[in-house]
Amino acid sequence: MKAFVTVAREGNVTRAAEQLHLTQPAVTLQLKRLAADTGITLFRRTSTGLELTHEGALLAAKAEQVLAALVDFGQTAGHLATRVRGKLRIGTIIDPEFTRLGAFLKALIESGPGIETTLRHGMSGDVPEGLRRNELDAGFFLGDPNDFEPVSELCGEGAAKLFHGRELARLTYRVVAPPSLASFVRDADWTQLAALPWIGTPPASVHNRLLTRLFMDLGLRQNFVAQVDQEASMVAMVRTGVGLSLCRESIALHEQQAHGLIVADAVTIGTTLSFLCLEASRDNPTIAAAFDAIRRVWG
């Protein structure tokens, strides 16, 4: 069948024999055997070589399909024989579109069809804690993983790190406010913003970690009037006029256009989105497969 398809493509026995690494008589013999087995005249001779008959062309198309199926069968068999098997507990955060969660899981299934995944959604600060307590195997994280490294492990040159991570994207966060506070927010610095009413978040959220460090460095305290644990709820409370909130720049600009929220134009905070695991587990086959899937999705 390979000889038949190759000759059909080349229209020449000599060239087909070279591709198949066979002698010309061997290829000719295989064609004769196939013609005898099928009872079909496969080729007619022309001045330039061989040309498929009508029946031969129909049979060649089917032969192409059969050979492709055989190749696929062999690849699938080899993949199943060597595939990674195991369970993978993944910490997810914010919205799945932003973390490209669907594309990541698809790539993970393709590279490790034997991996059973469990997703646990929460705040980004829950991910390193979940890794430390062996409740998660890997997960998405916003912020600096060093904030969760034990102090003793950060001391001294060459000290071992607890976490291994791959940076996926740089993010900018902006302060949004209701229209009623527009005159207080525009052109305001962090000192002026601290005194205004704020919607706070739990310590595990990236908003809390970013703002707590910033205001502590400035020797300031935020004026919290409410606390929520989801970005969507924070923005909803800003719309109703409760107070200020920190949110991703893309969301802040959308809210400005769609709902008339005010974006503080003099201040921003930068952070990173990463994918983490424990340093000691990075060579685990299932975790390595997850990082390979992350690489293929995020580049």
Enter the pTM of the model. Answer: 0.69
Query: What pLDDT, on the 0 to 100 scale, is given for residue 79?
Result: 59
| DSSP H/E element including 4 | helix 2-10
Q: How many angstroms separate the most distant Cα atoms in the chain?
A: 93
Answer for the pair 197, 243: CB distance below 8 angstroms, yes or no.
yes
**Cβ atoms within 10 A of the Cβ of 175, count?**
25
**Taking the mean position of all CA atoms in its chain, how far away is CA 284?**
19
Query: What pLDDT, on the 0 to 100 scale, is given for residue 199?
Result: 95
Query: What pLDDT, on the 0 to 100 scale, is given for residue 81?
Result: 54
Query: What pLDDT, on the 0 to 100 scale, is given for residue 114?
Result: 80
Angle at 138 between CA 248 and CA 203, to 5 degrees: 45
- Nearest residue to 12 via CA among 44, 48, 57, 36: 48
Strands 138-142 and 269-278, sheet pairing:
antiparallel
Half-sphere exposure of 71 (CA within 13 A, CB side): 7
Query: What pLDDT, on the 0 to 100 scale, is given for residue 153?
Result: 46
pLDDT in tens, the chain (299 residues): 899 889 888 888 888 889 888 999 998 999 999 999 999 999 898 888 888 999 989 998 999 899 888 888 877 666 555 466 789 999 999 889 999 999 999 999 887 778 899 999 999 999 999 999 999 999 999 999 888 887 654 445 555 789 999 999 999 999 999 999 999 998 999 999 999 999 999 999 999 999 999 999 999 999 999 988 887 889 999 999 999 999 999 999 999 999 999 999 999 999 999 999 999 999 999 999 999 999 999 98
Query: What pLDDT, on the 0 to 100 scale, is given for residue 110?
Result: 83
Tokens of 11: 């229209």
